[in-house]
Amino acid sequence: MEVFTKDEIRDIVISVLALVFIFSWQPFPNFGLNFGLVPYFIVIVLVAFLLHELAHKFVARKFGLAAFYKMWPQGLLIGMLFMIFGLKFAAPGAVVVHPYRFGRWGYRRSKLGIPEMGAIAMSGPAVNIIMAAFFSLFQGQIFSYLTFINGWLAFFNLFPFPPLDGSKVLMWKPWIWGFMISISLVFVIMFLGRI
């Protein structure tokens, strides 16, 4: 079974490039793209963003569901507009989950309730939190950015507003949501305290 379709690969490439651009952008007074950071952010975004989306996809598949990454053009546009002011809006797309899986004889319907949606939603930010914790153990600029981007992606995705992951996790288990958003915020604050 292929991990990603051609359409997903196209959407992921565009999303990764947009996030690299967003995170490499410096607001006023340095206004513009920091080309020195672009190579770092290519690696960092590939690690943080791709593993986040893969976690959603693989957990959904474990439940027997169809899951595909879909770019959100409006999210890309909002991200580009916000970056001008130094705000990192990171919602270029999402893994869309369908309560069925195509098989040899048509399709099979699978259960997609609040527990399944919550577990799928939790998996992406959980991966980012684990990676932020791991990278925070090391010194150096690349590790600092790895900690921040992973912390930020977890924190941002845990906002409790649909369609973000946080709304589903909060509906499923509020205490898990509270714990995860608190931990991710710690990693963001750690980075901001260093700059």
From 24-28, 121-125, 180-184, the region with the lowest mean pLDDT: 24-28
Report which listed range, 40-44, 64-68, 131-135, is most confident: 131-135
What's this model's pTM, rounded to 2 decimal places?
0.87
- 8 A C-beta contact, residue 128 and residue 48: yes
Higher pLDDT, 30 or 102: 30
Show the CA angle centred on residue 21, arms to residues 46 and 30, nearest 5°. 135
Contact residues for 31 (Cβ-Cβ < 8 A; gap 6+): none
What's the average model confidence in pLDDT over 118-134? 97
pLDDT classification of 195: cutoffs 50, 70, 90: low
The predicted-structure confidence for 4-13, as pLDDT tens digits, reads as follows: 889 999 999 9
Q: What is the pLDDT of residue 169?
A: 97
**Tokens at residue 71, please?**
């770019």
CA distances from 91 to 73, 104, 139, 152 (A): 9, 35, 28, 11
Q: What is the pLDDT of residue 71?
A: 95
Helix-helix angle 114-135:141-157, to 10 degrees: 160
Average pLDDT value for the chain: 89
- 8 A C-beta contact, residue 132 and residue 187: yes
b/e per residue 45-59 (b: at least 16 CB within 10 A): bebbbebbbbbbbeb
Proportion of the chain above pLDDT 70, given as a percent? 91
> What three-state secondary structure class fits 31?
coil
pLDDT classification of 180: cutoffs 50, 70, 90: very high
Residues in the chain: 195
pLDDT classification of 120: cutoffs 50, 70, 90: very high
**Tokens at residue 1, please?**
């079974």
Tell me which amino acid residue 148 is: F
Query: Alpha helices of 63-89 — where are they, by DSSP H?
Result: 73-83
**Tokens at residue 147, please?**
């900690």
- 8 A C-beta contact, residue 162 and residue 96: no
> What three-state secondary structure class fits 160?
coil
Over 90: is that where the pLDDT of 37 sits? no
pLDDT classification of 32: cutoffs 50, 70, 90: confident
The predicted-structure confidence for 66-104, as pLDDT tens digits, reads as follows: 899 999 999 999 999 998 888 888 889 999 988 776 555
